[in-house]
Amino acid sequence: MRAAVLQQAGTPLVIEQLSIAKPGPHEVLIRTHACGLCHSDLHFIEGTYPHPMPCVGGHEAAGVVEEVGSEVRMVKKGDHVVTCLSAFCGHCEFCVTGRMALCLGAETRRSASQPPRLTRTSDGATVNQMLNLSAFAEMMLIHEHACVAINRDMPLDRAAVIGCAVTTGAGTIFNACKLTPGETVAVVGCGGVGLATINAAKIAGAGRIIAADPIAEKRALAIQLGATDVIDTNDANAAQQIVEMTKGGVDHAIEAVGRPASAALAVASLRRGGTATILGMMPLAERVSLSAIDLLSGKKLQGAIMGANRFPVDLPRLVDFYLRGLLDLDAIIAERIPLDDINAGFDKMKAGHSARSVIVFDQ
């Protein structure tokens, strides 16, 4: 199969021919139909987050099951599926207490006694799998607990973005924030995750949804997806504007960029008793904090990895939201590109002027 391989951090991806192993007992072989370009992938490409090299990235994907292992029960051949990086073991404390997104998924990885999932066809050298998915490839070999079957009426290019951006943004609203209708929300950053957060806040009945982003095109998209107000984060008094327009601050402020300044804006936008939720992947040494007066005001700070999802339940519901016309995935997707244009897609991401680029493998 063809795959986009990262040979070394800071270098362009290279399209190579790779071989993929046969499914083990609990593994699923999937023909990839679409994969979104996520800012998390860019962190690994640029070396902000370490990973063994060479490797194949990509984690926001949808496809069709080609073959299943002998013990697979979750999906079957021919199923349309969405993958999710928060693979769960089903047995640990996090799983059995309903916090599946926190599971480290140790039991979903290949054992040392099994052959590697990916190898270079030319010389048989191992190519590392990223996040147990590696979706920048024509096929994926993953654990059955890293995918879920969906309604076959769902277009697979739209389904792909549910696997990360939408489940993170929407899950934050539904699961981590448990938004009550009428509460106010500020979303800092209007990329794929931020736009999904805004859309979900509208679905959940938020009273006011304030979108903050420095780019006018993204602010316009936010209005299209449900924002009631927009703020330019380049304004020095952006936090003050949010506090004034909400008469004291918002109930929920969600950071969807991964920058310390964005997190500080989220915290500064809170009302007494409000909660700031940090979604963006910041450099590992960075810190986000509440002041003593924030604590005395009952403000809270939390993370929500992958939207605190329970993806075998959440993803089919999000698909249903799209098919019913509630979830607008079409506006989130800026372009559809072939695998060969993947580096150009990441260049556009770095420029910051569009939402999601999605690789479509069968175009």
Residues catalogued as catalytic: 38, 40, 43, 59, 164
Rounded to an integer, what is the distance from CA 329 to the centroid of its chain?
13
In angstroms, the CA 333 to CA 355 distance is 6
Instruction: Count CB neighbours of 235 within 10 A.
Output: 12
DSSP β-bridge partners for residue 64: 31, 80
Instruction: Name the CA dihedral angle for 298, 303, 304, 305, rounded to a multiple of 10 degrees.
Output: -170
State the angle between helix axes of 238-245 and 260-268 in degrees (0 to 180), rounded to the nearest 10: 30
Instruction: Count CB neighbours of 238 within 10 A.
Output: 20
Token digits for 288? Answer: 């986000």
For the chain, give the secondary structure using H, E and C. CEEEEECCCCCCCEEEEEEECCCCCCEEEEEEEEEECCHHHHHHHHCCCCCCCCEECCCEEEEEEEEECCCCCCCCCCCEEEECCCCCCCCCHHHHCCCHHHCCCHHHCCCCCCCCCEEECCCCCECEECCCCCCCECEEEEEHHHEEECCCCCCHHHHHHHHHHHHHHHHHHHHHCCCCCCCEEEEECCCHHHHHHHHHHHHHCCCEEEEECCCHHHHHHHHHCCCCEEECCCCCCHHHHHHHHCCCCEEEEEECCCCHHHHHHHHHCEEEEEEEEECCCCCCCCCCCCCHHHHHCCCEEEECHHHHCCHHHHHHHHHHHHHCCCCCCCCCEEEEECHHHHHHHHHHHHHCCCCEEEEECCC
